[in-house]
Amino acid sequence: MDKIPMKTPLVEMDGDEMTRVLWALIKEKLIEPYVELKTEYFDLGLPERDRTCDRVTVEAAEATAKYGVAVKCATITPNAQRVEEYNLKEMWKSPNGTIRRILGGTVFRSPITADGIKCIVPGWKKPIAIARHAYGDVYGAVESGVEKGGKAYLSVCGADGKERERILVHDFKESGGVAQGMHNTDRSIEAFAECCFSYALTEGLDVWFGAKDTISKVYDRRFRDIFAQVYGRYAAAFEKKGITYMYSLIDDVVARVMRSGGGMLWVCKNYDGDVMSDMVATAFGSLGMMSSVLVSPDGKYEFEAAHGTVTRHYYRRLKGEKTSTNPVATIWAWTGALKKRGELDGIGELSAFAARLERATLDTIEGGYMTGDLVPLFGKEGVVPVSLTSEEFLDKIAEKL
């Protein structure tokens, strides 16, 4: 068989620990035998980030802006213990944070579902993708304690520096307490809406957005209005694709999601997304089955697994043990990137290969072969699940492929 050719290179960002091990195996066993793989390789492993004073992360992000599609391995975000473990020059920032600051955009997370892997919410037959607005609100807020008898005000100045409005937040005459000031910007909300509608259109998903504009008549109302405005530009395309946009109150959206069969993009304000993405991920089972993609407002894509470097398994591996670490989300990072590259470069074969690799992976699981994390979640009549090491599992997928 001839290998499938590529035109534009993928930006490849290697990473750390157990996921770095899986990374090499996935390439060797599942991709390189079939694809004439072309990548711009950046080693985001912690030793190389330290050696380059984190320049390599910035270069990888810039390459993504240039080429448009990246695939990223999980990476260590250093803390004090890691500074010691790796003898680092500095406590380097989170690579994901750095990349997001350079590219901008929204992170979409969606569970990977396989027949037989039970969802805790029995009605959720299709995956629920979550978009979290990763800017502002309580994450960028200022706060203060206020003593009894004190007062808190919200003071707003115009462009001329003169105070336009001074609103009493609370008169603390009965008791001391706390006050908080938070913000968001039209530009960030608009870019978020843009990313969400364009992602939904590519993926063919209905969009559900919830906020609390009955209570927050200016703040949350602004989100609702901007979304409606941006949707105006997408309405015709949505209709053509047969998908819809719905805005409702956040509590109503929560109730509807619980009753639904899944299969939508749930758009969340920052705090809601933080909380709800953990709920949805847990309901769908293993962290090893959650994929993630960063989409920038100008249409650049960075695909990765939602989990970290699986340190506990890596330390066991260093002791010579074979681990059963789930490679599925990392495979999905590769297939997502290859599909997108194929789509952008008009190489149908490449996209079809990626879809086939996903199918082979799901068939392997559905046939009863999986990593240990999935075994307790598996229930299919007539199939007894077998727990494999990562290598054995990848070999099984390769066989299917």
Which parts of this chain interact with ligand NAP (CB under 6 A)?
74-77, 96, 287-288, 304, 307-312, 325-326, 373
CB 277 within 8 A of CB 109: yes
Single-letter code of the amino acid located at 82: R
Round to whole Å and give the CA distance between 253 and 245. 12
Round to whole Å and give the CA distance between 295 and 199. 8
Which residue, 23 or 223, is less far from ligand NAP as judged by CB?
Answer: 23
- C-alpha angle with apex 171: 168 to 177, nearest 5 degrees? 115
Among 48, 59, 203, 274, the residue binding Mg ion under the rule CB under 5 A is: 274
Partner touching 244 among Mg ion, ligand NAP, none, CB below 5 to 8 Å by kind: none
Q: Angle formed by the axes of helices 55-67 and 95-103, to 10°?
A: 40
Distance of closest approach, residue 312 Cβ to ligand NAP, in angstroms: 4
Burial 209-227 (b: 16+ CB within 10 A, else e): bbbbbeeeeebbebbbebb
Which residue, 52 or 244, is less far from ligand NAP as judged by CB?
Answer: 52
Distance of closest approach, residue 213 Cβ to ligand NAP, in angstroms: 33
Partner touching 345 among Mg ion, ligand NAP, none, CB below 5 to 8 Å by kind: none
Which residue, 128 or 333, is less far from ligand NAP as judged by CB?
Answer: 333
Distance of closest approach, residue 157 Cβ to ligand NAP, in angstroms: 39
Helices (H), 27-128: 46-51, 55-67, 80-85, 95-103
SS percent in the chain: helix, strand, coil, step 5:
45, 20, 30
Partner touching 311 among Mg ion, ligand NAP, none, CB below 5 to 8 Å by kind: ligand NAP
Partner touching 278 among Mg ion, ligand NAP, none, CB below 5 to 8 Å by kind: Mg ion
Which residue, 326 or 364, is less far from ligand NAP as judged by CB?
Answer: 326
Distance of closest approach, residue 292 Cβ to ligand NAP, in angstroms: 7
Distance of closest approach, residue 311 Cβ to ligand NAP, in angstroms: 4
* CA 49 distance to own-chain centroid: 22
Which residue, 127 or 288, is less far from ligand NAP as judged by CB?
Answer: 288
Residue 116 neighbours by CB distance under 10 Å = 19
Which residue, 210 or 285, is less far from ligand NAP as judged by CB?
Answer: 285
State yes or no: residue 90 binds Mg ion (CB under 5 A).
no
Distance of closest approach, residue 273 Cβ to Mg ion, in angstroms: 8
